[in-house]
Amino acid sequence: MKTILAVGAHTGDAQLTSGLLLARCAQAGDRIVTLDLTAGERGAPKGMSTEEFRQQNIASAKAFADMLGGVSIVWDTPDGELDYSKELAVKICDVMREYQVSTVLYHWKNSMHKDHIAASRLTTDAIFYASLPTFERPLPPAPIRRMLYAENWEDSEGFVPYAYFDVSEAFPLWKDAVRKLYLTEHSRDFKYLQYYEGLARMRGALIKKEYGTAFAIDDYAKRIVMDPL
Ligand SMILES: [Zn+2]
């Protein structure tokens, strides 16, 4: 059994952007883990306190993970105040080691949101620390083989999709699960469900499938061996 970890800056990021692939992996028998570095509580709707919204987001992230038979972790870093620190990168590394993660899905490097930029750098360093046998921690290194950047509407600058997945069979499960999140249908700022559903249709069309999801990879990882021609 493989373990797939999706890391998001706020509750909703991982579930909306990596959720289709998580749903497909869950259906294939893999274990999925979502790690939300903040609960996104500062996006509280009118009439709801940030503390109430935090609790709602924690519960909805858990409901999403439950539907995929996975695990949800939401940290209490204040929303909007996620900054890079080695301490936090090592804390993410410890989650990767605890769950013996083999694939990590996370934020692209560029974003309009400072928390997303911090989340990307934190996760990249955490992957390094989690994989390095000589970086001594209480738990053994994680067998991380793959790291993919998720397609997030807030992280579009310089994002070039590269790895595509057919998620046609997983789409209904993802849609049911993602509806557990307040953001999906009630956000005043952005039509999340409309955007991510449309994106899945569009990415699917490009690979001649019903629904697709696409991820970016680092330029240095783009190479193929052609032998023979
Ligand atoms: Zn976010």
Instruction: Give the chain's domains with CATH numbers.
Output: 3-221 (3.40.50.10320)
Report the alpha-carbon angle 41-44-45, nearest 5: 165
Q: How far is the CA of 141 from the centre of ligand 1 (A)?
A: 28
For CA atoms 49, 51, 54, 55, the dihedral sign is negative
Indicate whether 90 pLDDT > 90: yes
Q: How far is the CA of 100 from the centre of ligand 1 (A)?
A: 25
Q: At what angle do helices 114-131 and 86-98 cross, to 10 degrees?
A: 60
Q: How far is the CA of 151 from the centre of ligand 1 (A)?
A: 12
Q: What is the mean pLDDT of residues 32-43?
A: 97
Q: How far is the CA of 72 from the centre of ligand 1 (A)?
A: 16
For the ranges 45-54, 169-178, 197-206, the lowest mean pLDDT is seen at 45-54
In Å, how far are 88, 93, 129, 143 from 139, measured between CA atoms?
Answer: 17, 10, 12, 12
Q: How far is the CA of 30 from the centre of ligand 1 (A)?
A: 25
Q: How far is the CA of 14 from the centre of ligand 1 (A)?
A: 9
Q: How far is the CA of 228 from the centre of ligand 1 (A)?
A: 45
User: What's the pLDDT at 200?
Assistant: 98
% of residues, the chain, pLDDT over 70: 100
Q: What is the mean pLDDT of residues 110-122?
A: 98
Q: What residues have CB less than 8 Å from 7, skipping those under 6 apart?
A: 14, 34, 35, 37, 92, 104, 105, 106, 107, 119, 123
Q: What residues have CB less than 8 Å from 116, skipping those under 6 apart?
A: 9, 13, 107, 108, 152, 154, 155
% of residues, the chain, pLDDT over 90: 93
Q: How far is the CA of 84 from the centre of ligand 1 (A)?
A: 15
| pLDDT digits 0-9 by tens, 141-164 | 999 999 999 999 999 999 999 999
Cα separation of 126 and 86, whole Å? 9
Pairing status of strand 212-216 against strand 163-166: antiparallel
Cα separation of 93 and 170, whole Å? 29
Indicate whether 184 pLDDT > 90: no
Contact 40, 186 (CB under 8 A): no
Q: How far is the CA of 207 from the centre of ligand 1 (A)?
A: 27
Cα separation of 160 and 116, whole Å? 17
Q: What is the mean pLDDT of the chain?
A: 96
Q: How far is the CA of 191 from the centre of ligand 1 (A)?
A: 14
Q: How far is the CA of 126 from the centre of ligand 1 (A)?
A: 19
